[in-house]
Amino acid sequence: MLDSLRRGATGWVAKIFLGLLILSFAVWGVADVFTGYNEGALARVGKREISTAEFQRALQTELEILARQIGRRPTLEQARAWGLDSRVLARLIGSAAIEAHAEDMRLGISDEAIADSIRKDPAFQNPDGTFNRIALESVARELGVNEHGLIALRRKEEVRGQLTDALTSGAFVPSTLLDALHAYRNETRAVEHFTIDPAVAVTLQDPDPAKLEETYEANKQRFMTPEYRKLAVVGLTIEEVKKRVPVSDEEIAAAYEHDKARYELPERRRVLQLAFRDRAEAEKAAAGIAAGRSFEEIAKEAGIGESDYTLGLLSRSELIDPTVAEAAFGLGSGAVSGVVEGRFAPVLVKVTEIQPGKQRTLDEVRGQVRDRLAQENAGPELQRLHDEVDDGRAAGKPLKEIAAELKLPFAEIAATDRTGKAPDGTPAIEGPDLQRILNAAFQGRVDTESDSIELADGGYGWVDVIAVTEARQRTFEEARTDVARLWREQETRQVLSDLGAKLAERASQGESMEALAKETGGKVETARDIKRIGGSPGLPDSAVGQAFITPQGGAASAETRDGASRIVFKVTEATPAPAPTAAERERLRTDVGRQIESDVVAGYLAALQERIGVSINEAAYRRAVGADQQQQQ
């Protein structure tokens, strides 16, 4: 997903959303300004208000743009899991604060200047440099605004830029800092290591009862039974509704003919693209390819990795730049274009695979057409069934009786804890709606009808709590087996830690790693060219970190990734970083410069927060992102 986002993050739309990421990440901690008031705007920044509708529009627009990049629309739950909701709110707050400051300073920009900046923006120009109105209208549609709205967004962007650019333009990256960072990142280690086999190296005697009781008392909270709830559940999924919607063969055939183009598989090509700073640099690369050098060789020489020049297997419409699309779909497989004046930079394009398009027949897509028609017609039937269930509940009927009358799926869950597990540890509830059902179950009460819940596919569900078995403290005798298991785990971990330290000391004093490994059931392996960032597949991060504070010839031990054993390692080589190349130095300067700019803006926004004041309506925010039913652990 991140690769798709990176490749799609171009153009002026990206400037609106991704260009303000510095605000999203540098803005003060959102959680610090939540308040508990229950009405009014979703957020207030000084005298300015951010309405729920404004936030939801911004979130939906970002989700739509993201959907185009990754090929599917994320759900609100996924948006929350990825932090998109808080990022959008942070961006709106940061923008509002800067706009308020700009207004106080009476900063502005004339209509003529806005129009001129739009005309000169490469995103709105034809290859010959003339203004492209179609591109302007396309961006406006993508942002969900008209032309006037687009100009208003551009005006706000330009005014914000007057302040943020003034703050960050003086950012300076000292050469000594670059040298230190390069040395830190590129110093390498080589280590010999082995993993202790607990079955060989650890022997524990059975614990006496006093030890077990001591372990029980020290960890009592770990030996509680969870709260269990008995549930009645009715599910009204879209798939269930679609089965009830009649669709004739005649309707399927008519729908296929009407939307025949929908079932055409477009030609797709695997496209590689190298972008250059200017045309002269691009022409030099093109000349090198004409002389026999490969596209990949040119990319490697420029320090560009494969993931950065591979756009993917795309149709013509999926390529953002129409000029690049024209070039790519005019090439044969394996061919490289001449210099293409892309919308944003001169590029070379290569096609490595071509998948021809085809028109699928009705028989090939019959099921797909029927499913689409049923989906389109499911709404009224879904609402009818929803209302009938609610009518039955209003009449005092239990869910089981309602489900039988309407022939809807019904399940009685004998007992489930907050994780969806039964008392024997097996899954009590499974499926994509697990968390939604659990949220309703553990917010509900016995003999109290709860509202319907929205299911993952857009359908509805009803959950009634039949009975509650409260959590309780297990006695020592009840928990004896689990207490003994915990004692054994703790003792084994301590024995392994002590043994690892002793083996590392012996290795440091010159004993053979092979002999030590054989003694403890391990096998010596060697990891080379380890860096602080990136680590090594065979070593946990804790071992990599220790390796860089252990001198050459020294040894140490660290817990394995799963915590089940210890790795003993010895540093055999410590190699300082080579001098950075000009390209490495420039990339590092850019990265550090961006971080400095982010820090500067963070300080600026923190000062604005203190001066202007920010508050967020927590209840309104939770409603806006659909988190009202989120499980409270």
Q: What pLDDT was estimated at residue 13?
A: 43
pLDDT at 114 over 50: yes
CATH of domain 2-170+587-624: 1.10.4030.10
Q: What are the tens digits of pLDDT across the range 383-397?
A: 999 999 999 999 999
Q: Is residue 474 a contact partner of residue 231, using CB atoms and an 8 Å limit?
A: no
Whether the CB-CB separation of 316 and 330 falls below 8 Å is answered with no
Reading the block at residue 177, the tokens are: 């800092």
Lowest mean pLDDT among 11-25, 110-124, 557-571: 11-25
423-463 pLDDT, tens digit per residue, is 999 999 988 889 889 999 999 999 888 889 988 888 999 99
Q: Does the structure show a pLDDT above 90 at 415?
A: yes
Segment holding 260, helix H or strand E = none
pLDDT at residue 131, as a whole number: 67
Whether the pLDDT of residue 469 is over 50: the answer is yes
Domain 267-356 has CATH 3.10.50.40: yes
Chain mean position to CA 147? 32
How much is the average pLDDT of 33-39? 44
Could you tell me where in the chain the CATH 3.10.50.40 domains are found?
Answer: 267-356
- pLDDT on residue 215: 95
Q: Is the pLDDT of residue 558 over 90?
A: yes
Exposure string over 313-330, b if 16+ CB within 10 A, otherwise e: ebeeebbbbbbbbebbbe
What would the mean pLDDT of 414-423 be, rounded to a whole number?
94
Whether 30 shows a pLDDT value over 70: the answer reads no
Q: Do residues 584 and 303 make contact, with C-beta atoms less than 8 angstroms apart?
A: yes
Q: Which ranges in 476-569 belong to alpha helices (H)?
A: 476-508, 513-519, 541-547
The answer for 534, left when phi > 0, alpha when psi is -120 to 50, beta otherwise, is left
pLDDT at 627: 62
Identify the band that residue 15 occupies on the pLDDT scale cut at 50, 70 and 90: very low
Q: Could you tell me which residue, 37 or 203, shows the higher pLDDT?
A: 203
> At the top level of CATH, which class does the domain 227-248+363-470 belong to?
alpha beta
* pLDDT over 90, % of the chain: 41
pLDDT of residue 630: 47
Instruction: Output the pLDDT for position 202.
Output: 93
Ranges 294-303, 485-494, 510-519: which has the least confidence: 294-303
356 vs 364: CA distance, rounded Å: 17
Helix (H) or strand (E) holding 236: strand 228-236
- In this prediction, residue 577 has a pLDDT band, given cuts at 50, 70 and 90, of very high
Domain(s) of CATH 1.10.4030.10: residues in the chain = 2-170+587-624
Query: What does the alpha-carbon distance between residue 334 and residue 349 come to, in Å, rounded to a whole number?
Result: 10
pLDDT in tens, 337-385: 999 988 767 889 999 999 998 888 888 888 888 888 888 888 888 899 9
What mean pLDDT comes out for the span 196-209?
92
DSSP sequence for 158-186: HHHHHHHHHHHTT----HHHHHHHHHHHH
pLDDT level of residue 147 (50, 70, 90 thresholds): low
Read off the pLDDT band of 12 (50, 70, 90): very low
C-alpha distance from residue 582 to each of 155, 471, 596 (Å): 38, 64, 21
pLDDT of the residue at 245: 85
